[in-house]
Structure 1
């Protein structure tokens, strides 16, 4: 067996499914008996399947039968066995008290009303408030589901429209969370709403309608508000995203406070933490369904139409406000007509066409990695990813430069590694040499698919396609390469920066032959080198020099860095002529070797040899590339950072100890989640599913923490709140050393996955408990408490998302950022300690 069994995937999905089922039973969404019957049925199915497959293998061995798919049977046998083992553990947890009594030989059992955490004889937590029925639960779950799916889709759309990086992500998430927080503060007027059914009905309907309009106007207005083809500045991104997000975010924030007030009033108890947990449960469902199903099969507008359908259905069954028959008929007729139109008409193509003026849109596909589009202009095909032109057919110059500058440096290139760019025509240029094999690594499998359907670039049998993260591929391959061409964009995001670090270059060198040549490129500076561009080029040059003996720069449409432990030459025209390569542009007729050498020396003479080295955990090139991008807009990064800092100080100064603790907890939650995702990519590689799974595990931890807080802390006291704050602070301080330990131990895929899931559930669980305690410690009425706690949590998360991803990590690195997060939470715990007397207990 070359492939490992799916222990981590099956185990994780089983745990998440059990948490969802368990939570649903505790909230009376389903009966406890139904919950247990479901898992008993799964246990029976996995047992019989494992047994039958095992018997087939026994017969195959004993009777020496020839079964061509015996290896597949073995895999299914083991995977069903893993699932059976996981379910057996859940089953054992139901009866653990019985087994403990047997082992301890107790004759007098405890009262049956004393139920441990996973012994589900009653199906309810020992909470002071009664369980909610399905009519109350569904709107809250719909809120969490809608908010999560809408956030992910809008974030993808904004990144696609604005060619985004982590700074853009931080700005959009900050606007999202601040507006949602403001919405929750506006929710303080909830007691004044008299027609609650009608308000709930229309609010749920708007939750489904607003995302459709937001996506449409974002795409439609882009080339109307901004000049087509122009770069959109940070300020423009800020105000445009702020305006477009106002309707949905204010409504979703308002609804949290409103639903907390309504349900608490109906039950005459504080149900804020209950609502928080239910919203998290809806987010878990949204994350799982979107990440593992919707994004693979449906386009954006179709997904949002499904979201509208779900919200309409829940609005009807939970809060139908109309009494006369005519109103019901009209509402039903209009809904069916609109939904049918949205399902049948291709609104995605309609909205995207406005982005490609004077071009025929012939292909459009939403993938887990971004949006792909192909347009036609005359006889030329243009290939776009996230609205960025990857390449156009008939663009010979860029393809020849990307290949021949590097390959002519090697005497007999046989095995070639190509990272990205394979469908642009680069492979055709490589095949001009007598190569044996081209290993083409492309993260997004849909790119290689359109390459096969719309180009001839991948038709040659010498080309092997690998759809995976290039760092994972390089780490695991046993091949040695003569030439490696890294045809990736500049390090403008945390993900791309991983291919320009000291650690990556060292990993790559281990897979190269002794005289191998590596090529990578940055934006061209052959005529003018700005301060920001010089710093980016200096950092990459100095990082390469740490690993390779020789580094030269060949200026062209881009700055091509060629590195090797062998001799390298800038005499490209001479080398091309000697090898007899027939090119259109890269040849002795178009290139002057002396001029090429002068321009190369000009670039090298303007580089700074004292810059920092770009590393995985200190991504200085990524920060400088963002700074380079900002230089186009005459935007001072530090003014922006100072403004954010001053706003944060102003907000913090107005908070009481409980709200301050929630602000710091929200800051830690979003910051640590970002650190975990980036660290996972560094240690293991980028896997789309894992980002979605880590986020889902995080939401599960929030829900679990809020649900179990009354078990862990039966009495709500300020000292328990302070204990959680201290725990979050210590966790943040220890986290980087745990991650470094993972790296030093050189763990396999399974332990790394489990380790990151455990770290995620610990931090999210503590933040969930913190929210639950804060909702009980905060003085005031229900609507005021819900607004303040939820709002400060979101505002803290907003500052964390912006500062950590876009500013702090690039400047000072992951380790120091984690220490700052820990220090902030420990400082807030100290404030709580000093002002604890104002809280009872």
Structure 2
């Protein structure tokens, strides 16, 4: 039917909306929950989990009347919901959790679950409903594959628009209102063609409301002021690296990045400790590299020494705001201020530095962890003079070393010792690590006095109280425990830092957590045949994508600018894989006649059956008469009529073989990927060409996505159980597998078992799924 084909346009618009909504809500929740990578993993896991639940609910909608009208109404709701959800995040955050408080892990799980619930359930339900509408005629089995492809193409468009959002800094309300208007235009067009005037009217009213909120009212400014009561908002905006807000209250300037305060002036204690502990070791230093901290005043403090200072900040907008609101910290002509990735500068620097200071927050993300790995420390040593000093800081010591803090200190200490002969620890406001091949000492006060360096906070009285023998001995005892090296592809330190952060909230597993694990266990135990394979591919897609993103950061530097490109490449791979699978499915399933069953069953006139590649891709056009080697149907002889009637045939032969082959291909990719990434990291030729590494990682991303995208249409044919039942089960398995992969890979599996362990785990999972599929077929 015509409506089944036109509904694909609505599914594409839904895919576009889902990608952009996911991006914006993840950033808004990151700001509201003052979160880290663990919070991002929780939000993404909840998103995919609830999408799977929505698809499962959609499986019960096969016999609904006027399904198209329901599809259009739900899509109108989905066009408005994202803007409403962002409003809720910004307005309700302070009343629910209190202003300035850090939200615990349990509260973050609950808040993100409740917030995402309406949108994700409705979106998942809509995908399953679209499969029912689209499955018509003799090609009912191909309906889910066409919907999957349309969704992938819409997501591909969303990934391309993601680049515009990242670079241009469009605010959340304008972006979501624009995406919502696109969905409403599609809804209005579909409703107009079907003469559903009420739906057309609802779409027009909703569009006017979205335009008012997104472009008419200054909603972004109003809600930002609500988030910072009692403060004057001097600036708000987005950069490719996060959401930035600058406020002023009682003469104090506050810089917020992604909801967390990163600079507050004046903060003399933090600035002086960051500078003088390191510089006291080499007060005669002539070349100093400062990574971070320049806006806060560390670069200005370094000018008390006779040194040329190179200051690096990653975010150009953050640096511009520092120059605008704190010009005294950056205006001195002796400062050389650059916007660049600190690790890349260290890798490529031809000049040698006497001191390198890493003035960054604790490595609770993979991005920050890159500056605390054995590989970076070895690179930094090459950029230092023979007796140069490297300084960094982690944790916060207050006369007690908890087990979690002890693990962080031990891992950091062992990692610094892997590159330098000498390492000392100083318990200040944070625990400062100084590493060098030359002599180091804890007599900071004497050294500063000999060099005649004035200080307001780091004075003899303060140092005598902080650097006492018992405090120093306490740190030394903490680092005697066994600890692993923190590496690029085995980032254990950022997992340890996440554990340290979570320990302050005393998280409990609880009844809800136990019930969730039990329900997931029961679900997994009941999976059979192609559904297992789709679940494994969803898990693999999320896990290996995390691996590739981590590899990109480690080998190429900051990921923020390129993340949109990688997302777009992944979505393109999904679309290409799904298109191939749909085309293969239709060509393999053609009856042995000269007419195309794809168009014959849809009642499309003969003169309208030449739409080119898209018809082939969506399975709406056949390939003529089938040769004797291609079976007319994908079921054993004598069961073809059962399939045409839409009932549940047994597992079919050819799709099962293809599906098993795709699973084995994913397993092979997982087995070979660690060797390929290690080769990239060790190869001097590739190290010298970031572009070559980017191209290779993009190609690997495309191959991974193409294999995953091809599985869904093939799996739907392999175990068809009605227009919507099979699609619902497969969508649920896909989303739940991806949810589990997203939640576990970045926050648990990669830090604990490393990149190689994760890749081999996914390989084993897919190989077992292929074996189970072949065993059931036999």
* TM-score, normalisation: structure 1: 0.80
Alignment partner of 1:349 is 2:287: no
- 2:68 is aligned with 1:193: no
Q: Which residue of 1 aligns with 2:135?
A: 264
- Residues 1:485 and 2:357 are matched in the alignment: yes
| Structure 1 match to 2:740 | 799
Residue matched to 2:570 = 698
Given candidates 114, 131, 143, the residue that maps to 2:14 is 143
2:292 touches 2:313 (CA, 8 Å); kept in 1? yes
User: Residue in 2 aligned with 1:813?
Assistant: 754
C-alpha displacement of 1:724: 1.1
Give TM-score, length-normalised by structure 2: 0.86
Contact 1:526/1:559 (CA < 8 Å) preserved in 2?
no
Conserved? CA contact 1:130–1:267, under 8 Å: no
Q: Is 2:155 the counterpart of 1:283?
A: yes
Deviation at 1:711, TM superposition (A): 5.3
The farther-off stretch of 786-795 and 580-589 is 580-589
Q: Distance in 1 between matches of 2:298 and 2:762?
A: 45
Residue 724 of structure 2: SS of its match in structure 1? helix
Alignment of 1:757 with 2:698, yes or no, is yes
1:522-671 mapped onto 2 (5 Å cutoff): 522-592=394-464, 595-635=467-507, 647-671=519-543
Distance 1:809 1:637 in 2: 22
Q: Give a deviation string over 1:334-355, Cα, whole Å, max 9, x none.
A: 7436513531222122223333
Structure-1 residue corresponding to 2:190: 318
Residue 822, structure 1, aligned to residue 763, structure 2? yes
DSSP-derived class of the 1:376 partner: strand
- The answer to which of 356-365 and 807-816 deviates more is 356-365
Q: How many angstroms apart in 1 are the aligned matches of 2:375 and 2:569?
A: 29
1:657 CA drift (Å): 0.6
| Counterpart pick for 1:506 among 375, 378, 390 | 378
Unaligned segments of structure 2, at least 5 residues: 589-653
Matching residue of 1:87: none
Relative distance call for 1:744 and 1:334 in structure 2 (3 A) is closer
* Alignment match, 2:679: 741
Structure 2 residue 366 is matched with structure 1 residue 494: yes
Quickly say closer, same or farther: Cα 1:648–1:299, change in 2 above 3 A: same
Alignment-derived partner of residue 720 in structure 1: 658
Q: CA shift at 1:820, angstroms?
A: 0.8
User: Secondary structure of 2:227's partner?
Assistant: coil
Distance of 1:659 and 1:682 partners within structure 2: 35
The whole-number CA distance in structure 2 between the counterparts of 1:137 and 1:594 is 66
Residue 360 to residue 606, structure 1, CA distance change in 2 (3 Å): same
> How many angstroms apart in 1 are the aligned matches of 2:286 and 2:670?
48
Whether the 8 Å CA contact 2:363–2:369 is kept in 1: the answer is yes
Deviates more, 1:702-711 or 1:137-146: 702-711
| Other-structure match for 1:430 | 302
Aligned to 2:260: 388
Distance in 2 between residues matched to 1:594 and 1:672, nearest whole Å = 45
8 Å CA contact 1:219, 1:355 repeated in 2: yes
- The answer (yes or no) to whether the contact 1:570–1:596 under 8 Å persists in 2 is no
Task: Say which of 463, 466, 471 aligns to 2:338.
Answer: 466
Change in Cα spacing, 1:323 to 1:424, as seen in structure 2 (3 Å) is same
Evaluate the alpha carbon distance shift between residue 809 and residue 335 of structure 1 in structure 2; reply closer, same or farther with a 3 A threshold: closer
State the structure with bigger RCO (CA 8 A, min sep 6), 1 or 2: 2
Contact 1:413 1:434 in 2 (8 A): yes
Cα displacement string for residues 272-325 of structure 1 (whole angstroms, at most 9, x for unaligned residues)? 111111111111111111223465231111111112221221211122499698
Q: Which whole-Å deviations, capped at 9, do the CAs of 1:4-60 have from their partners, x for residues lacking one?
A: xxxxxxxxxxxxxxxxxxxxxxxxxxxxxxxxxxxxxxxxxxxxxxxxxxxxxxxxx
CA contact (8 A) 1:484 1:518 kept: yes
**What secondary structure, in the 3-state scheme, does the structure 1 residue paired with 2:101 have?**
coil
**Inter-partner Cα distance in structure 1 for 2:474 and 2:777:** 64
CA shift, 1:597, in A, is 4.8
1:571–1:597 contact (8 Å) kept in structure 2: no
Q: Secondary structure at the match of 1:527?
A: coil
In the alignment, which of 48, 51, 63 is matched to residue 177 of structure 1? 48
Residue 541 of structure 2 contacts residue 705 of structure 2 at CA under 8 Å; is this kept in 1?
Answer: yes
CA shift digits 1:230-262 (9 cap, x unpaired): 222221111111111111001110111111211
* Secondary structure of 2:460's aligned partner: coil
Change (3 A) 1:232 1:329: closer
C-alpha distance in structure 2 between counterparts of 1:613 and 1:643, whole Å: 36
Q: Residue 363 of structure 2 contacts residue 372 of structure 2 at CA under 8 Å; is this kept in 1?
A: yes
Deviations 1:386-444 (A, max 9, x none): 111112111111111111111121141111111111100111101111112x2222221
User: Cα distance 1:770–1:450, how it changes in 2: closer, same or farther (>3 A)?
Assistant: same
Partner of 1:681: 553
Count of residue pairs the alignment pairs up: 707
User: What's the counterpart of residue 212 of structure 2?
Assistant: 340
Change (3 A) 1:338 1:496: closer
Would you say 1:732 and 2:653 are equivalent positions? no
